[in-house]
Amino acid sequence: MVSEHQTTFDETIAADEKIEPRDWMPDAYRNTLIRQIAQHAHSEVIGMQPEGNWITRAPTLLRKAILIAKVQDEAGHGLYLYSAAETLGVSRDELQEMLHSGRHKYSSIFNYPTLSWADIGVIGWLVDGAAIVNQIMLQGASYGPYARAMVRICKEESFHARQGYAILMTLAKGTDEQRQMLQDAVDRWWWPALMMFGPHDSESTHTEQSMDWKIKRMSNDDLRQLYVDQTVPQGEYLGITFPDPDLHFDEESGHWRFGEIDWDEFWAVVTGDGPMNRERVAHKKKAWEDGAWVREAATAYAVKHAAETAKVA
């Protein structure tokens, strides 16, 4: 016998309306959202490391200022998303522990090193570009706080992608050495960017259920294809080539067809054995530990302030 709660939940999803924090929801829906939103937040925070690595080495003061603004945005995205996750009844400390212990993931893309300034441009163009494709879709997610966080984040992501592409336009019009630096970065980041969209739909653990619940509105493979179709022409404009001999435009379908992802590499990186996984998590843990005194001071102040306010009232 389907409960009244379940019926109301199903009708809300079917009507394309939002589930809000105080609404009844199946535990499995809640847990899938905690998993995805928390890992999304973890990705934003860990994602500050690869780009942060170049703040002190930006080629001009203007580029340094832009990169600082972008990295700061990513921290803010993480905070929005942790706040959205907290509406589901989980604490930020619990989520940090899940990340630090390896029980929560973060996006595979952030486990690759940033070897040159061109990487910073390619991350803006390819990585934030992939995030935009995914996050525009998530603006339609059935869980209200998540969908609304995406609206704000997508506005800032477009600045991230534009600033990255502007860096690459400079390099593409520069010296042979700058053009080679650009091509080398594309060669290293193209396939990891395609991996951001997850395994094939046929291999995906969560896609079918997440689409039934309208958390996901498009599948991993459909989003990946949308991304490739919009990105390849941008690369052609830059004068770069993509490291995929199978990449070609299919007139009949109107899509860019591309080669097979190295799924052994994907799962190795996802399960912790990528080029930078250990460094990324160790750095994150140290930052959390180093920041403990700030959290303690802020909590102590809040308790003292509340006590003084209560006395006055």
Residues that bind ligand 3HC in the complex, under the rule CB under 6 A: 35-36, 39-40, 43-44, 47, 74, 77, 105, 107-108, 127-128, 131, 134, 157, 195-199, 204-207, 210, 220, 270
Closer residue to ligand 3HC (CB): 23 or 201:
201
Closer residue to ligand 3HC (CB): 232 or 270:
270
Closer residue to ligand 3HC (CB): 98 or 305:
98
Q: How far is the CB of 189 from ligand 3HC (least distance, A)?
A: 12
Closer residue to ligand 3HC (CB): 36 or 116:
36
Are 147 and 138 in contact by the 8 Å Cβ rule? The answer is yes
Collapsing DSSP to helix, strand or coil, 152 comes out as helix
What is the C-alpha separation between 231 and 14, in angstroms, rounded? 33
- For 1-10, letters b (16+ CB in 10 Å) and e give eeeeeeeebe
Q: How far is the CB of 134 from ligand 3HC (least distance, A)?
A: 5
Q: How far is the CB of 165 from ligand 3HC (least distance, A)?
A: 14
Q: What DSSP line would sit under 117-129, residue for residue?
A: HHHHHHIIIIIHH
Q: What DSSP line would sit under 155-220, residue for residue?
A: HHHHHHHHHHHHHHHHHHTS-HHHHHHHHHHHHHHHHHHHHTT-S-GGG-SSHHHHHHTTS-SS-H
Q: How far is the CB of 220 from ligand 3HC (least distance, A)?
A: 5
Closer residue to ligand 3HC (CB): 166 or 179:
166
What is the C-alpha separation between 201 and 212, in angstroms, rounded? 14
Closer residue to ligand 3HC (CB): 250 or 260:
260
Q: How far is the CB of 160 from ligand 3HC (least distance, A)?
A: 6
What is the C-alpha separation between 126 and 138, in angstroms, rounded? 18
- For 159-180, letters b (16+ CB in 10 Å) and e give ebbebbbebbebbbeeeeebbe
Q: How far is the CB of 133 from ligand 3HC (least distance, A)?
A: 10
Closer residue to ligand 3HC (CB): 44 or 236:
44
What is the C-alpha separation between 311 and 313, in angstroms, rounded? 6
Q: How far is the CB of 125 from ligand 3HC (least distance, A)?
A: 11
